[in-house]
Copies of this chain bind each other. A is one copy, B any other.
Amino acid sequence: MDFEKELKVTETNIPGLLVFDLSVHGDNRGWFKENWQRAKMTALGLPDFGPVQNNISFNAVKGVTRGIHAEPWDKYISIAAGSIFGAWVDLRPGETLGQVFTTRLDPSKAIYVPRGVGNSFQALEDGTVYTYLVNAHWSLEQKKTYTFVNLADPELNIQWPIPLEESERSEADLHHPMLKDAKPMAPRRT
């Protein structure tokens, strides 16, 4: 991991999907970072997305894989320990539907995932801690409005570092449809 980088944002091939470099300060105790800083980051182009919920998932072993889930809210995702390989798929109706972006994230990186972009990741280390802020309250009923796509879809051709057959996944994530059979996410009601 790189320390003392300058806070920076990088655009991707998926519109609105933004990768951040964070500044991590190391010392005799470990390290410290501003994981999200509204003023500095909105100045760089992060939407002022108004988080109301913070979720944390603990991924016990290398290879745990979760996704692909597009939910009807925005997410700001980062790593508190360990590292991941992430894959994002545009699931909004339109020209960029099906575009894929992949990258590795460690604690010195973050990513902003706009509503309708499918999210997935694989833990690259035992004990990887994944934390994210969202701007709507989750509820079980809303799962009906998600768009799910299969991690193994050959059309997406995601190069998972650890073969999916060897990875821990949830029962649900084994059975999502391929992109060609998935229903793109409905636009936000206005």
Contact = CB atoms under 8 A, between A and B. Distances in A.
Interface in A64-93: 64, 66, 80-81
A107 B56 CA distance: 9
B64 A129 contact: no
Q: How many copies does the complex hold?
A: 2
**From A28, A30, A53, residue with most partner B Cβ within 10 Å:** A30
Nearest to A57: B32
A28 B56 CA distance: 16
A155 to B, nearest CB: 25
Chain A interface, >50% SS class? strand
Interface stretch (A6-14, A111-119, A131-139): A131-139
A56 B30 contact: no
Given A80-B131, A81-B129, A56 B29 contact: no
Given A81-B81, A129-B129, A131-B80, A58 B35 contact: no
